[in-house]
Structure 1
Amino acid sequence: MLRAAHRPLGSSGSMLWLCSPLSACLAGGRSSSAAAPSPSGGGGARRGSSNGRIIAPESASVWRKPEAGRLKLNFDGSSKHASRRASIGGVYRDHEGGFVLGYAERIGRATSSVAELAALRRGLELAVANGWRSVWVEGDAKTVVDVVRSRARVRAEEDSRLCADIAALLPLLDDLCVSHVRRQGNRVAHGFAKLGHGAASPRVWRDAPPDEVLRYLQRDAEGEGK
């Protein structure tokens, strides 16, 4: 289990937005506030009235498209219960739901939290390597998402190392939106993570996704991710 102490994950010059699918990830423009504005009719993240904390809206149930000009990363980690053999995967898509890039790899024996954090780290590394500076990050491991959003520091040694790696990547992005989605909205990333178990070496797909995830990619793009 991922245990967190509320200390900074790391200093960052980037803008970290706490968001839901109905926040600034779907609305145009940046904000000078740490909280992202919501589009008309949406209930986006807001500041609490007493202590200025960011209040994140309820988790999403389905995958949602990002705004134009922003890419969306969905990540997932997979750790088999008995053997603890783990793999990671993730997918980048554009504002039309179009496939941009996917990745998958085995990471040896690991806990589920290590797998989730490693999947996120790899996704951010790919964003930096490709020069993508505006990214909406989404995962179905709520504890991991909460750790990134609150800049908390975890106590387990391997989790802490991965969080430090993630913190070092954040300043390399202009703005970063982080949200939680339930498993059914993260099925494409889960499919890539499953592919990682059988990958002899790290894999990256560009432009053309593997057949195993095509059905869910199409459903998400058409708004049928149920």
Structure 2
Amino acid sequence: MVDDRSSLQSPLDSVVGDIYSDAAGWNIPTSFKASYPDVTYEIENVVVSTDPDSLVWTCSLDGSVSCKSAYTSLSEVSSFVFWGKQILAPFIPPSRSILIWWLFHGKIPTDIVLRARGYIFPSRCRFCCAAEEDLRHLFLDCPFVRGLWDVLSSNFGHKLKLDGGKIVFADALSLLWSSVRETNSLQSGIMKNSVDELQILQRLHVSGRPPKAPRILEVNWRPPPSGCLKGNRDEAAFGSPGLAGCAGVFCTCRGFVKDCFTIPFGVCFAFESELAVAVYAIDYAWNFGWRRLWLKSDSTFVVDILSSRSRKVPWRWRSAWDRCLGLIYQMDFVVTHIYREDNQATNSLASRSPSIVSPTWWWNAPNFYNSFIFNDFCSRPSFRFR
């Protein structure tokens, strides 16, 4: 990071306590600031906690050591399977999920599998009594099972391809997944305007369940009380993890935009960007002397931890979050939840944040923001369909 150490030997060998104090903050030597302004900017943005130093486990979010995190960090990365989350869904009984898991890994204790483990006994299929019992015969080649596949495929209108008198394994799996999906939709889903689905329901002798009409909720923007600033915040993340950024808008009691900002984060998780924008908004309000702040967020995660003053945040944000909580106790601070339909203005600003190079601050509303301000100023409602 620094090439020439001769002229800056003393600052580089200093510890944090030599250049930082709780009262004055960072006190970096002028020579270092002039030579390395970018490094100085990064150092001054580091929030130093007043709590005693503690060890953190970097492999976990909260910094604590658990058996799971220790095992995950030391074990080899297992191969990803696309069907893992599908068979371990909450609405599928665990016994069925375990059966499919054993089937895909070839662990079902058929006669052939037990023979490979050292057990010696004759093997015969319990259905046809004409072949040995192995996985392929039990699920695909047995005449009795093939009859079940034919009935199932005719009910769902899916013709299995035959290859030399044997069912192709991929087609069987496709039919199996379609049957499981249809079974789940029959139990808790609704019918759609499709002739194919109506025919399937008729073959299975199931009465249709038409969808309910959506409930329309009118959402209106409200200005803050007199003497109070209203801060709307939002974040944008293209993946988790992925490129992310945040935006915040401060409005007066008359509905005018006082200030707004956007900050890019680079690659991070979505919930980290939600947490960071709240920290930045509260920090900006304190630095500008705004002691009455009404923060509105469409993230229930942020609203819950700010309302409860919880310290359960990722360890990377622990120092900044502790400072944020300390500022809240000295402010007239309120946090409430907001629907996304009522946060369209800040959302339009946040959608641009991942693509910008550096943090940007506007003392007035940008041009692309004026249409949203006009809608809020005229009390034009938005509608939420639930």
Query: Structure 2 length normalisation: TM-score?
Result: 0.41
Aligned to 2:371: 215
Cα drift, residue 156 of structure 1: 3.3
The 1:104/1:185 distance shift into structure 2, 3 A limit, reads same
* Residue identity opposite 1:214 in structure 2: N
2:281 to 123, 136, 142: 123
2:371 and 2:244 map into 1 onto residues whose CA distance is: 24
Give the structure with the larger helix fraction. Answer: 2
Residue correspondence of structure 1 range 4-153 to structure 2 within 5 A: 61-81=219-239, 84-153=242-311
Structure 2: runs of 5+ lacking an equivalent? 1-60, 63-217
The structure with the largest alpha-carbon Rg is 2
* Residue identity opposite 2:379 in structure 1: G
* Residue identity opposite 2:355 in structure 1: G
The 1:225/1:169 distance shift into structure 2, 3 A limit, reads farther
Task: Please state whether the residue corresponding to 2:352 is helix, strand or coil.
Answer: helix
Cα drift, residue 157 of structure 1: 2.6
Task: Please state whether the residue corresponding to 1:153 is helix, strand or coil.
Answer: coil
Query: Structure 1 length normalisation: TM-score?
Result: 0.68
Aligned to 2:359: 202
Give the structure with the larger strand fraction. Answer: 1
1:196 and 1:81 map into 2 onto residues whose CA distance is: 14
Answer whether contact 1:62 1:182 (CA < 8 A) is retained: no
1:155 and 1:203 map into 2 onto residues whose CA distance is: 26
Structure 1: runs of 5+ lacking an equivalent? 4-59
Q: Aligned residue pairs: how many?
A: 168
Cα drift, residue 145 of structure 1: 0.7
1:155 and 1:132 map into 2 onto residues whose CA distance is: 25
- Percent identity of paired positions between Structure 1 and Structure 2: 25
Cα drift, residue 162 of structure 1: 4.7
The 1:163/1:221 distance shift into structure 2, 3 A limit, reads same
Answer whether contact 2:220 2:342 (CA < 8 A) is retained: yes
The 1:86/1:162 distance shift into structure 2, 3 A limit, reads farther
State the Cα deviation string for residues 70-128 of structure 1 (Å, max 9, x = none). 01000111111166111010000011111100000101111111101111111111111
Q: Which structure is richer in relative contact order (CA contacts within 8 A, separation 6 or more)? A: 1
Task: Please state whether the residue corresponding to 1:209 is helix, strand or coil.
Answer: coil
Answer whether contact 2:240 2:269 (CA < 8 A) is retained: no
